Structures are given as structure tokens and as C-alpha cells.
Amino acid sequence: MSNQAPTPDPLQSLRLLVPAPPSGGTHVDWQDLAAEYPHGFPDDYCVFMRDYGEGEFDNHLMVFPPVPDVYPQDPDSTVRGVTAEARYQAEEDEYDQPDLLVGWAMTADSDLLCWRTTSSDPNDWTTVIWRRQWLEWQAFDFGMTEFLRRFAARDLPELWTFDLPYEGCRFIHSRDTKRLHLEGINPWRPEPAAGS
């Protein structure tokens, strides 16, 4: 586990490091999801979906929505899909209580990022990662937004290092990535693409 104290308001700190998409995030009707996700979600995830939505940080870390949106024919690119993969992997590795894992992101290296749902209050959930290249689980004592803030601040050097063609950190919503690809534009070029 990390021994650094979490930031008091990691979502605000994340916004200062990485602007949210100008066109907003992903609309989610949370009441409609109560039957599919009876455990609920952390408040910061709900706000993140509203402000940022499904999308990718630095062409590396993809945050998934609870239900398909940009790619409606790909139900695996959701919290449910990542959760199923994480629980399967945890069972294969005899990881403690795989049913407590709820996936929320995946990396380009196929690392799986999950909440460990040891509390009935989703706001108390912490982060666990399956490091595929190292075949190990790694636990952190903070939630999703603090993890993303540290990712954006390059404050997780033990996990990933980057050689990016630009400074700082970027987030691009999946709808913008899809649009730019259709226009033949690489969204991860040195200069940000307009509207991304």
C-alpha cells in the first residue's frame, strides 16, 4: 500500500492537472442502474462520469462507464466487463475474496484497476490493481480519483513510466477519440486536437 496521505479533494486537484472535456462527460441515469449494480458507486466516480465520462488518460489508462455508451455493441467495455475479467483473474490466482472486486479501468498493458468493496459505503472503497506483466495484485489505501490524480501528477513511478510527445497529462473522452479516428487524426499527437 502507498504510505502517502490522500489529497483532501482529489477531484478538484485532478481538474487542475487535467481539464475535463469541453463537451462534458457521460450521461448516466444512476437510478436505472440500481438493479444491475446493487452495491452502488462511489460519489467521486459518479461526478467523474458527469464531468469527464468514459475515456482515456495518455493513451494508456481507460476509465469505463457502468453501461455501454460510445460503443453500445461492446458490453465488455463497462464496469461489468472489467469486473468479470478481474474476478476471473482473481479466482485463477486464488486472490482473497474475488467477489469483492469491482473493476473501473484497464491500461494498455491490460492491467486491471478495481475497487475493493470491503465497506457497505462505496465512498470507503480502496483501489486494487492486477499487474498483468508482473502477475501480482497491488493494493492502495485510497480510491479511484486519488489514484487518477497521482497518475496525472506522475506520482506513481513504481507502476508506469511514460515517454510522451507532450507535457503534462491528457484525458480524451471516447466519443472524441472515435470522432478523431474517423477524421484520420491521431488524438495523442504533440498538440491537442481541437475539440478534444
Q: What is the pLDDT of residues 32-62, one digit of tens each?
A: 998 999 999 999 999 999 999 999 999 999 9
105: nearest Cα among 133, 147, 74, 160? 147
Instruction: Convert the pLDDT of each residue in 14-29 to its tens digit.
Output: 999 999 999 999 999 9
The predicted-structure confidence for 99-130, as pLDDT tens digits, reads as follows 999 999 999 889 999 999 999 999 999 999 99
Q: Chain-wide mean pLDDT for the chain?
A: 88
d(CA 138, CA 156): 12
In the sheet where 61-63 sits, what is the strand order? Answer: 136-140, 126-131, 112-116, 101-107, 61-63, 55-57, 171-173
pTM above 0.85, yes or no: yes
Domains and CATH numbers, the chain: 10-182 (3.40.1580)
32 SS3 class: helix
